[in-house]
């Protein structure tokens, strides 16, 4: 546990989402507007932080306001900078020392208990924890949000990994999002250590082999780049577009107006082998095809052929769904075992 001075930390109280006053038409207007902003953002390779807030804000009244959100990020940025100063004594004598130590400080701030001196008192900042009760946001989609993570100190692989990357971007440090079946984690690089994985759901640094085995990742999917590859900043912003599509799906269950497909196509424009976008596109096309079939849609469409082509592409890339039973087993193991994988902090 570490003690050091920092600017006054501001804590925010949770606010309830209010969505009932928005009808489907108004929601579509909001989602279309957000899509247009994200389309510009990803094209310009802009701010990942901005993309994340745009998506979460479009879902409804956020748990924290825009001002609170950006202030919270600023405070954690200051906290990481202050903590990094305590690490320089470890004498990491490589050219990327600042980048490496920034990444270490982000991990420690997120996964360790830190004491902060505020005026004459000491305030404890506790680690962010994993939301085992609803990790996929099935009961409440906002359980996947960074804003929810900041308000409750609990999150899932998406919100934890997104928050890590946001802090790294703000600090000017390098890290990369990476995908595994039903999972997002962080990839890091150090000149001394080489590539290593940062798993924020458990606070560990697992090997590639451990991730492949526990997530049932097909080796062909790694070779094709479907899984375990680093996402560029532009591809990370494209992930925000995928998140927008999922939020729209959760709120409207409308697979037939073209919005979800439009989002998937934009993601795939910048990340052609994005497994989440490919699967959502295939499943949406399947629902659209069945709808056309049931309603005896008079016009001949290419829906069926597009659906088949997308499923075939996924198969060729090595996609294999992680069995529900095995994922629940993995979650149980994660919850019950305090030590697994490689918990050793990469040392300079």
Task: Give the pLDDT confidence of 148-193 residue by residue, as tens digits.
Answer: 999 999 999 999 999 999 999 999 999 999 999 999 999 999 998 8
- Residue identified by tokens 């934009």 is 266
Q: Is the pLDDT of residue 263 over 80?
A: yes
pLDDT at position 123 is 67
Q: What percent of the chain has pLDDT over 70?
A: 84
Opening angle at CA 77, ends 89 and 184, nearest 5: 100
Contacts of 133 (CB under 8 A, 6+ apart): 139
Q: Is the pLDDT of residue 348 over 60?
A: no
Q: Is the pLDDT of residue 115 over 90?
A: no
pLDDT at position 14 is 43
**What's the longest Cα–Cα distance across the chain?**
75
Q: 125 with 10: CB under 8 angstroms?
A: no
C-alpha 230, offset from chain centre? 13
Residue 344 CB neighbours (<10 A): 8
Question: What rounded mean pLDDT belongs to the chain?
Answer: 86
3-class DSSP assignment, residue 187: strand
The whole-model pTM stands at 0.88
3-class DSSP assignment, residue 271: coil
| Residue 17: band (very low, low, confident or very high) from pLDDT cuts 50, 70, 90 | very low
Opening angle at CA 321, ends 327 and 319, nearest 5: 140
Of 60 and 176, the one with more pLDDT: 176
């Amino acid at each position: 546990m570490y003690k050091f001075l920092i600017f006054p930390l501001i804590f925010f109280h949770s606010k309830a989402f209010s969505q009932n006053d928005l009808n489907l038409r108004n929601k579509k207007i909001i989602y279309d507007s957000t899509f247009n902003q994200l389309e510009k953002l990803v094209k310009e390779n802009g701010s990942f932080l901005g993309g994340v807030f745009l998506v979460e804000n479009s879902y409804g009244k956020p748990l924290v306001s825009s001002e609170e959100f950006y202030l919270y990020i600023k405070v954690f940025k200051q906290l990481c900078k202050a903590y990094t100063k305590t690490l320089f004594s470890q004498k990491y004598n490589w050219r990327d020392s600042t980048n490496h130590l920034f990444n270490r400080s982000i991990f420690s701030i997120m996964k360790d208990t830190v004491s902060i001196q505020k005026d004459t008192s000491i305030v404890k900042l506790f680690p962010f924890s994993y939301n085992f009760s609803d990790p996929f946001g099935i009961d409440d989609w906002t359980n996947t949000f960074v804003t929810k993570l900041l308000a409750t100190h609990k999150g899932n692989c998406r919100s934890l990994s997104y928050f890590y990357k946001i802090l790294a971007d703000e600090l000017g440090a390098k890290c990369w999002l990476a995908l595994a079946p039903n999972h997002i984690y962080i990839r890091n690089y150090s000149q001394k250590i080489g590539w290593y994985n940062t798993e924020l759901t458990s606070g560990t640094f697992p090997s590639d082999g451990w991730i492949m085995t526990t997530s049932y990742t097909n080796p062909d999917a790694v070779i094709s780049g479907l899984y375990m590859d680093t996402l560029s900043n532009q591809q990370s912003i494209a992930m925000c577009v995928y998140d927008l599509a999922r939020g729209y799906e959760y709120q409207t269950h409308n697979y037939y107006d073209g919005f979800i497909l439009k989002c998937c196509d934009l993601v795939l424009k910048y990340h052609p082998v994005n497994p989440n976008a490919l699967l959502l596109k295939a499943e949406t096309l399947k629902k659209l095809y069945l709808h056309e079939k049931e309603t005896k849609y008079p016009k001949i469409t290419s829906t069926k052929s597009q659906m088949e082509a997308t499923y075939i592409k996924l198969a060729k890339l090595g996609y294999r769904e992680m069995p529900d039973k095995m994922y629940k087993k993995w979650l149980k193991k994660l919850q019950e075992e305090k030590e697994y994988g490689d918990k050793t902090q990469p040392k300079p």
